[in-house]
Amino acid sequence: MPLMSMTGFGRSDGRHGQYSWTWEIRTVNGRGLDIRLRLPPGHDTLEQPIREACKSRLARGNCTLALTMQRDTSDVVARLNEGMFRQVADAAERAREIANVAPPTLDGLLAMRGVIELVEDEEGEAEMQARLDAVLSSFEMAVDAVKQARRDEGGHLGVAIEALLTEIETLVATIERAPARAPEAIGKRLREQVAKLMEEPSGLDEQRLHQEAVLLAAKADVEEEIARLKAHIAAARDLLKAEEPVGRRFEFLAQEFNREANTICSKSNDTEITQAGLALKAAIDRLREQVQNIE
């Protein structure tokens, strides 16, 4: 599975009978999967299947989902108000008897206010269920569009992260090959530092001197940090090829990168290693920014 970003947008339009609608889905970075759903009145039954569909397709990210629904205003029907019609007809018949005039016509009765009502055509239960099914199907299309957008963005992320890993690898190699790490250079520095310790007025006994020399040697050696950084680079490249969401693991790994770089900088007593260490920290900071976008 290609690397997936947490940033994406998807939209789909649909129509069924006299209804038309639009789904819009936006996703951004998030620690977990946070779904915020806006549905028009009367569509609450869609909430649970929509949340389940999101959970089955998206692992992480803050997701905002909005459904807008429109109904054609031209779909109205004329309906006879039977109660009003009977009242008007009875009143007209009584008036005819009193006034001794011609009986009222049907056209005249129907023209009376309130006898004929213009109302929106009511949607039957079966028709409503068919529409809701169509709305859900349209939602699936919007989610597919979001996933494709996240996949496309993930491809760009993968390229950027691989470039940063190559930069980190180059800087680690620079530190590893630094002349100051040669045994002769390390030995020279140790001798100089031990000589300074020997010059202290209080003096040092042989055991204390041995302990100080061991500490100085350990501080001068960054072999373990270099080895761990190489292992982290290999692990990061494996994550780029993983078949499951790797964002959380990548974030943890980026922290481990940073820890090793900090240790190298703190141990360094050479200008070249210090400069490479600072550049390494900068590259790792950019890496940490990038991996925060991974699903």
What domains are defined for the chain? Answer: 8-73+124-150 (3.30.230), 76-120 (no CATH), 153-291 (no CATH)
Closest CA to 12 of 83, 259, 21, 220: 21
Count CB-CB contacts under 10 A for residue 148: 12
- Site of tokens 């100089």: 192
**What value does the mean pLDDT take over residues 237-250?**
93
Does the pLDDT value for residue 212 go beyond 60? no
Phi, psi of 79 (to 5 degrees): -130, 135
Q: Are 209 and 197 in contact (CB under 8 A)?
A: yes
Express each pLDDT in 79-112 by its tens digit: 778 888 888 888 888 887 887 778 778 887 778 8
pLDDT at 188 over 70: no
283 pLDDT band, cuts 50/70/90, is very high
Mean pLDDT calculated for residue range 118-132: 77
Q: How far is Cα 63 from Cα 23, in angstroms, rounded to an integer? A: 13
Residue recorded with tokens 């500490």 = 215
With 90 as the cut, is the pLDDT of residue 134 above it? yes
How large a percentage of the chain has pLDDT more than 70?
82
pLDDT digits (tens, 9 = 90+) for 47-82: 999 999 999 999 999 999 999 999 876 556 677 788
